[in-house]
Amino acid sequence: MQATLLPPQNSVLCAPITATRELAACLIANVPMIDLLSAELTRAGFQLVDNSDAGERTLRIPIDTWIELGALLMLGRNAKTARLTDHSGVLLAWKGYDDANDCEEELRTEAQCFPIVYPWDLLRMNEEVMALMDETSLLGEVSPLATISGPVRLGLGARILPGTVVEGPVVIGAGTQVGPNALIRGATSIGANCYIGHCAEVKNSLIFPNTYVSRHCYIGDSIIGSHVNLGAGTRTENHRHDGRHHVSQIRGKFVDTNRLKLGAMIGDGVRTGVNTSLEAGIKIGVARTTKPGTYVDKDLM
């Protein structure tokens, strides 16, 4: 069965995370999205071909979709040309023609499939991928005074310092230092050559390479770009007091994120002053800064 990966359909709305990189290069569990999807398809027995070589039986899969294998197999085994959509009719993949609208049938799936449209969808994809982790690989240095539980992957040269607690699934990249006395938990992916300081907590978040998280920070349900410096005591809020879904402003319109917990989405090169507080669901654009003691209650794009 053949498949081809197509360019993303919606990456412009994933700013600020995609302001300095292609969506396909965004890291999910510390692996570029395109490499992750290619490996998963190959492992499932698909032959990956270039779009120029795609035929009538080739599955066409936009890079900005998360599709469960069973749904793809259903599409591949369908006798006619067809579009695969989620339960609400959003296009996920198709087979038969360059234009999905030319396909003869529409197949709907109730499986956990969704398009990557907004930055928080990257967080959801990371959660889905890391939920499949079932092995621990510790290639770095772990202090005997640290505590590791659940599946954890630690890259070469990474260090877990005394008093630190890591509750998997967690991926920590090569050369990264965590602690002392830090807490890392809940589907968290930390890139290479990062620093997570004394008494910092990172929960259910994506942190891209070469980022510095100072002491006493709290990063929850957030996406942090590369070369970011979070000053000591920087904290993200990640839930509403009324228990409702978070709403985020995209191009002047408020969008329901369908998330009960959502922190900050921070672009590359951002620097926050000490004791900066970030309201839930805000976005900070590339290379923006905050003064010490700032409360950020709206997007800084």
The domain that holds 76 is classified in CATH as 3.90.550.10
87/233 same-domain check: no
Q: In which residue are the tokens 């709403």 written?
A: 247
- The strand order across the sheet containing 59-62 reads 47-48, 2-6, 59-62, 91-95, 82-85, 105-108
> Residue 124 falls within a domain, yes or no?
no
> Residue 129 falls within a domain, yes or no?
no
Beta bridge partners of residue 138, listed in sequence order: 154
Q: Which two tokens stand for residue 199?
A: 């008494």
Q: Is 82 helix (H, G, I), strand (E, B) or coil?
A: strand
Q: What residue type is 45 in one-letter code? A: G
34/173 same-domain check: no
Question: Cis link prior to 16 (omega < 30° from 0)?
Answer: yes
- What is the tens place of the pLDDT at every residue in 34-61? 999 999 999 989 999 998 888 888 999 9
Distance CA 64, CA 23 (A): 8
Distance CA 285, CA 187 (A): 24
169/205 same-domain check: yes
pLDDT of 252 > 90? The answer is no
pLDDT value of residue 1: 85
97 exposure class (CB count in 10 Å sphere: 0-12, 13-18, 19+): middle
pLDDT value of residue 52: 85
103/164 same-domain check: no
pLDDT value of residue 100: 92
Domains identified in the chain, total number? 2
Per-residue pLDDT, averaged over 265-292, amounts to 97
178/105 same-domain check: no
145/270 same-domain check: yes
pLDDT value of residue 141: 98
pTM: 0.94
160/264 same-domain check: yes
pLDDT value of residue 9: 74
208/147 same-domain check: yes
Question: Cis link prior to 32 (omega < 30° from 0)?
Answer: no
What number of residues does the chain have?
A: 301
49/141 same-domain check: no
DSSP 8-class letter at 7: P
pLDDT value of residue 58: 94
Domain that holds residue 103: 2-117
Distance CA 9, CA 151 (A): 33
